[in-house]
Amino acid sequence: MESIHRTVLLNEIIEGLNLQNNSLILDCTFGGGGHSLEVLLKKSNTKIIALDQDSSVWEKAKGKFKGLENRITFVNTNFKDLDKVSGKVDGIIFDLGLSSDQLENSGRGFSFLKDEPLFMTMKENPQAEDLTAMDVVNLWNEENLADIIYGYGEEKFSRRIAKGIVEARKKGEIKTTFDLVKIIEKVVPAIYRRGRINPATKTFQALRIAVNDELGALKEGLEKGFNQLKVGGRMSVISFHSLEDRITKKFYKNLEKEGKAKLINKKPIIADSEELKNNPRARSAKLRILEKV
């Protein structure tokens, strides 16, 4: 099934980058290609280096870039390795959200609404040595499980959920998303099951972050990205939960204190009511922009 991926804060990020013609932009999270396409359409002679560790995204999106292929280079890699594929650039984009297509159609277990193998790796074809969520829930001890579910998911029932996972796996391996959802629903209070968000939301987020080392990769990517940025160039980061936003905010503020950068927006830019109406997923998006001085 084809899902419609809507790029979040599209105009805000393009305007915030203050792009000139002939710029070289590093799109660290290509995803559905929305930001890259808009940059190429709005700024003539601008070129893009687009990164994504999911190799399938380029195959799905490249039809949008007909006639623009000579201005975009796709590299299948994690943005923590951006220094290996890019020289100095005029602008950098990080959109840390999962694309609708990855959530709904990857078959890798990102969504608790579909019964899929519990992989949660961003890699299209995980190898035997790659960590998966199945490894985490079946092999990690109860204390470590509780710590990541609380630390990465900010889940208040983390200890109950970790204990439930450990008890359940004694009876058989936890293999699918629905196996895990059933465990969570069984151990959390009834009122929590009927809450505004699905009770599995925070646990799934925590496992995905752990499997892909998303916070470690972000810290590394921000540092390397800033090093690759030309003076006067700007970095834009869209985050979707408080841990990512905290890392970005701290990184920006430290650079500002050191006199190496200036903040373009003191408070994060958020989606307006019109965008929220068309794309409810944008409600948690926060955009922070930095300029190298």
pLDDT of amino acid 69: 94
User: What are 61-109's pLDDT values in tens digits?
Assistant: 999 999 999 999 999 999 999 999 989 999 999 999 876 666 666 788 9
Q: How far apart are CA 138 and CA 130, in angstroms?
A: 15
Q: Are 64 and 76 in contact (CB under 8 A)?
A: no
pLDDT of amino acid 259: 98
Q: What is the mean pLDDT of residues 204-217?
A: 96
pLDDT of amino acid 104: 67
Q: How far apart are CA 133 and CA 96, in angstroms?
A: 19
User: What are 221-248's pLDDT values in tens digits?
Assistant: 999 999 999 999 999 999 998 999 999 9
Mean pLDDT over the full length of the chain:
92
**Adjacent-strand bridge partners of 117:** 176
What would you report as the CA-atom Rg of the chain, rounded to the nearest whole angstrom? 20
More confident residue, 170 or 2: 170
User: Burial code of 163-184, b = ≥16 C-beta within 10 A, e = fewer?
Assistant: ebbbebeeeeebebbbbbbebb
**192: pLDDT strictly greater than 60:** yes
Q: How far apart are CA 72 and CA 46, in angstroms?
A: 9
What DSSP assignment string belongs to 157-183? Answer: THHHHHHHHHHHHTTS---BHHHHHHH
User: What are 120-164's pLDDT values in tens digits?
Assistant: 998 877 778 889 999 999 999 999 999 999 999 999 999 999 999
Domains by residue range for the chain, with CATH: 10-101+215-292 (3.40.50.150), 102-212 (1.10.150.170)
Q: Under 8 Å CB-to-CB from 231, ≥6 apart: which residues?
A: 292, 293
Residue found by looking up tokens 């599995």 in the block:
200
More confident residue, 56 or 173: 173
Containing 75, the helix (H) or strand (E) segment is strand 72-75
> How many of the other CB atoms lie within 10 Å of CB of 293?
11
**8: pLDDT strictly greater than 90:** no
**Adjacent-strand bridge partners of 48:** 25, 72
pLDDT of amino acid 3: 39
Question: What is the residue type of 49?
Answer: I
pTM of the model: 0.89
